[in-house]
Amino acid sequence: MDKIASPQELTSELRQLLAYAESENPSREKLATDLNGLATRVGSTTKVARDDVFYEIVDQRETVKLYHRLEKEDEQSAKLFYECLKEFQKAFEVDSGTQDALSRFKGMVSKGQNWDAGLLRNNVFKVANSLGLKLPSGMF
């Protein structure tokens, strides 16, 4: 199955579905199947907003404050700061499964000290599964 790689491809696919849906006697089953297939093709290439990962590492409020200060005091540095920010954000772009895993992992590390072993195990397995790792047992 081909992945949707651009907004133009998605638009084309959606137009085809809409044309079929507006045709005489469209099959609800076929529409549901086609929509599900399209969702899968789009989901497999979905990228999480770069800001989400970047701002997990760098404080967003402080970044914005510093940028505004630079805008007032040194426009050239502000522009370069912004370009650096965009490059970092591009470097941290991840798929949605990795973002889910990162968020769950971060929560485990920060709050997991008080969790029981079963809850920790469940979350470790969910992180591994989201990252596409081979799980040690078939009981997941």
Per-residue model confidence (pLDDT) at position 120: 93
Domain boundary among 60, 75, 91: 91
Is residue 135 included in any domain, yes or no?
Answer: no
Is residue 124 included in any domain, yes or no?
Answer: yes
Q: Is the model's pLDDT at 56 over the cut of 90?
A: no
28 vs 137, higher pLDDT: 28
Per-residue model confidence (pLDDT) at position 138: 59
43 vs 94, higher pLDDT: 94
Mean pLDDT of the chain: 82
The count of domains in the chain is 3
Is residue 71 included in any domain, yes or no?
Answer: yes
What are the C-alpha distances in Å from 131 to residues 12, 47, 72, 90, 117? Answer: 31, 14, 43, 20, 21
Mean pLDDT within 94-117: 86
Structural domain harbouring 110:
96-130
Per-residue model confidence (pLDDT) at position 5: 63
CB 70 within 8 A of CB 81: yes
Read off the tokens for 138.
């078939």
Is residue 136 included in any domain, yes or no?
Answer: no
Q: What single letter denotes the amino acid at residue 113?
A: Q
121 vs 95, higher pLDDT: 121
Please state the pTM of the whole predicted model. Answer: 0.47
pLDDT tens, 19-42?
888 888 888 888 878 887 777 777
